[in-house]
Chains A and B, each alone.
Chain A
Amino acid sequence: MSKDNEILEQFTSKEYEHGWNIDLEADQAPKGLSEEIIHFISAKKEEPQWLLDWRLKAYRAWTKMEEPDWANVKFPKINYQDIIYYSAPKQKVKPKSLDEIDPELLDTFKKLGISLEEQKRLTGVAVDAVLDSVSVATTFKDKLGELGIIFCSFSEAVKEHPELVKKYLGSVVPQGDNYFSALNSAVFTDGSFCYIPKGVRCPMELSTYFRINAANTGQFERTLIVAEEGSYVSYLEGCTAPQRDENQLHAAVVEIYVQKDAEVKYSTVQNWYPGDKNGKGGIYNFVTKRGICAGDNAKLSWTQVETGSSVTWKYPSCILKGDNSTGEFYSVAVTNNMQQADTGTKMIHIGKNTKSRIVSKGVSAGKSQNSYRGQVKVMKRAEGARNFSQCDSLLMGDQCGAHTFPYIDVENKSAQVEHEATTSKIGEDQIFYCTQRGIDEESAIALIVNGYCKEVLNQLPMEFAVEAQKLLALTLEGSVG
């Protein structure tokens, strides 16, 4: 028992690795939210009138909405007037190449392990780095441009491809969809835009790295991915934030539009600052992610590894509209200390013979609360729809909780829907088996948890799988159940 406690103690006192911050001169808006601020953001970004109107519409919708309270999380009320909605690293001129970027900025990303320069030279991953609210660098643009792939920051897309942005922005997540998406629609400052033309298979992984640096700011980025007929793209997203005592709000929106025969794979490794072990500080991660399989045979796959954030509220969803389209959701959510996560997915089956698969693995330790909340809806016309859901929870320590809230709504008789869930701790017999084979207890736990999460980790692209595995090992080090 004492050893357990000791190890647990060790583990819970583990410091957040990305907790540093760099003093970057930033260009900020005053605190608070009002129509003036939206005008200010829009003007700063030199946006066209239609986008300003679009934002204002979202803002007006937001003012009429109430913050949702149905999620299984508790946190003090957010004062939306106490947040800085625009913060950009000060940069005199727009950089043409990486050499012109503020070296301190490059350092920031180097610390994160994503040296933009190195990335460019060594790996085949195109990165769009977003610091606070603004995209600072995008690599591999020219090479992708040859194939007709557009991968750039959102503000650039607004300027250079307004017709595409206008067509798809809000097509999957409308402004008034929910409280946080409305807020995001009103004040989003940047993000990534990605367009894969017809029949093109994107030759490299596209990646966005988000970092909150400045204090008191909220991060509201918006990602829009459009995959035209027959195209393919794999997209990665990663995030970190400095260690601060106050809570910071991150309310992002990700929209994915998948046309006929196209496939999009979206992977996230989320490692926002989770707060200290008493639950002080940390990021509120309230994200709306949704994709639509608009055409036949389209495929959309979400993979997420959630280890950070003090409060997570996130439901990556698939609308399966096209016939024979497929939606997938693979998730590992690890919570520790005072973290709270309410995450899951929605699979809306509209087209015929649509298939979906949900694999959710929750691990809770410390005093954390981990909830799976998901919906599988089979509409009347979704002939032959098929769903399989599995959500398992692993509990470590007797202070944490694991909860499952699946909603299954079926309106078609030919649908086959299965759901299964289990909750347990790591079996003593499993640990015993390992130890009697000469594997020490800690390695045994790492081994078992890794095996437990394997199904999900296998879905990640190689570069991310390594990072995710490291993260998991770090988070679970020494946590004897």
Chain B
Amino acid sequence: MSEILKETSLEDKFITHFNELESRINGESKSAFHDIRKEALESFKTLGLPDKRNEEYKYTPVQRVLKKNFDFGVVGEQATLSADEIRDNYIPGLKTNTLVFINGVFSEKHSEIISKDIIIKDFNLALKENKEDIETYLAKYADYKEDAFVALNTALAENGSFIKLENNKVIEEPIALYFINDAKSKEVHSQPRNLFIAGKSSQASFIEVFKTTGEQASFTNVVTEVVVNENAHIDYFKIQNNENTSYHVGTTHVWQDRSSYFAGYTFTLSGALVRNNLNIIIDGEGCESHMFGLYLLNGSTHVDNHTAVDHRKPNSFSNELYKGILEDQSHGVFNGKVYVRQIAQKTNAFQSNKNILLSNEAIINTKPQLEIWADDVKCSHGCTTGQLDEEALFYLQSRGVGKERARVLLLYAYAAEILENIKLDPLKDYLEGLVSERLHKNF
């Protein structure tokens, strides 16, 4: 790489990507959404990539890491993955509607829709065909004026998915989205954008799986918006079981209308640097929201989970439980925010973060945060950091279980508190297998 290019800032490179996109889509550069893209780009320029001085990214200076590992010189990448290589990533035994994205681009060839009466589309196509929904919902909740990565994703949004469930539609087969990065020959980066709309009283499960194949570095900046209309019931899973060369920044924005149910599950099993934002806006009465998270870190993995629940209407319930096990030089960050607006009386909000540190090199920074403006509420948060219970370990040993096995057993039991909430059996089995395998191998 020439010296001149090296001196170009990352921001400038992304701006180049935007210009390239703009020239490519010249037919639609007048569309309403493109104006949002432009606005998002402007706000990205003002915000800049976050560094240590940004409170939200205090422990996760993404900019430094990206600068060190990425060039971002090229825009699109040709993938050379075979069908088998892709199929290897599928969750076994689970019948799903399958959507495959290679380097962020929807691959129709590998995707398969089995449920009927459901709108599943390439994001690009939806921009043209579902103008009404796009205008109503897209970029309404994911705030591109606050977060640089959301701004970047919005400015470059063209690939990803659009999924819509009509009112009263119940989909039995989960919708699985596999985001596969092919980093065999070159570094790769992708910025997928998803919009899920669940109509009134509809029900479905979404599973997002992120995977990189190959030795080179990969960077994903994904934004998913989930609209949960009245009385709808949505389960949302995010599974990250990645190479230690993959960098991930993901933001999921959820908007809930009255009496709706949303449960978000985030599993981070490996990766180089992972930042997950999960933001839920409770904008109707009688809603129920759950957030579960599990992170098992070893090596030098850095995982940062930021969650925010914004109670804007009364009589809702939110519950959060994030658990982590940290080994080697891994670094875990947790920040959970609960906002209860003045109008949101009778809110119940619970939050808990638990961590086990297994090594003196591992670091955990946690910040459970409550901001409450309503008085008739019940809110609590708790957070613990410690190690395995010596007495439990001793008990198992006294019963003839070897120390190593006892340790894994206890760690597994600790993780199981999250896993047991999963209602999809094949998915639960799959994750249990993954966790158990990891615990045996790396901890």
Contacts and interface: CB of A to CB of B under 8 A. Distances in A.
Instruction: State yes or no: do A and B come from one complex.
Output: yes
Interface of A: 70, 380, 393, 395-425, 481
A478 B384 CA distance: 37
B386 A416 contact: yes
B382 interface: yes
Contacts of B416: none
A407 B385 contact: no
Contact of A396 (B371, B375, B384, B385): B375
Interface stretch (B177-185, B232-240, B356-364, B430-438): B356-364
Contacts of A410: 355, 357, 363-365, 385
Closest 5 CB pairs of A and B: A395-B375, A413-B357, A417-B385, A420-B382, A422-B380
B286 interface: no
Contacts of B355: 410
Nearest to A416: B386
A398 B345 contact: yes
B31 interface: no
B366 interface: yes
B168 interface: no
B376 A409 contact: no
Interface string B144-187: 00000000000000000000000000000000000000000000
A313 B165 CA distance: 50
Given A408-B385, A416-B384, A425-B376, 14 more contacts: A380-B360, A395-B372, A395-B374, A400-B375, A404-B371, A408-B364, A410-B365, A410-B385, A411-B363, A412-B357, A414-B387, A422-B379, A422-B380, A425-B377
Interface of B: 55, 342, 345, 355, 357-387
A405 B369 CA distance: 5
A412 B387 CA distance: 10
Nearest to B359: A413
Contact of B373 (A401, A408, A409, A420): A401
A241 to B, nearest CB: 29
Q: Interface residues of B: mostly helix, strand, loop or mixed?
A: strand
Given A413-B359, A422-B380, A423-B377, A407 B367 contact: yes
A315 B383 CA distance: 21
A401 B371 contact: yes
Contact of B384 (A409, A412, A419): A419
Nearest to B365: A409
Contacts of A380: 360-361
Contacts of A424: 377-379
A421 B380 contact: yes
Contacts of B385: 408, 410, 415-418
A396 B375 CA distance: 6
Given A70-B55, A403-B370, A410-B355, A425 B375 contact: yes
A409 B357 CA distance: 12
Nearest to A403: B371
Given A404-B369, A408-B367, A421-B368, A413 B379 contact: no
Given A417-B386, A419-B382, A424-B377, A412 B360 contact: yes
A421 B363 contact: no
B387 A402 contact: no
A411 B59 CA distance: 13
A326 to B, nearest CB: 19
A481 B377 CA distance: 12
Nearest to B354: A418
Contacts of B387: 413-414, 416
Contacts of A417: 383-386
A143 B372 CA distance: 51
Nearest to B59: A409
Contacts of B364: 408-410
A393 B380 contact: no
Nearest to A399: B342
Most buried by B among A400, A403, A423: A423
Nearest to B376: A425
A104 to B, nearest CB: 45
Contact of B367 (A406, A415, A425): A406
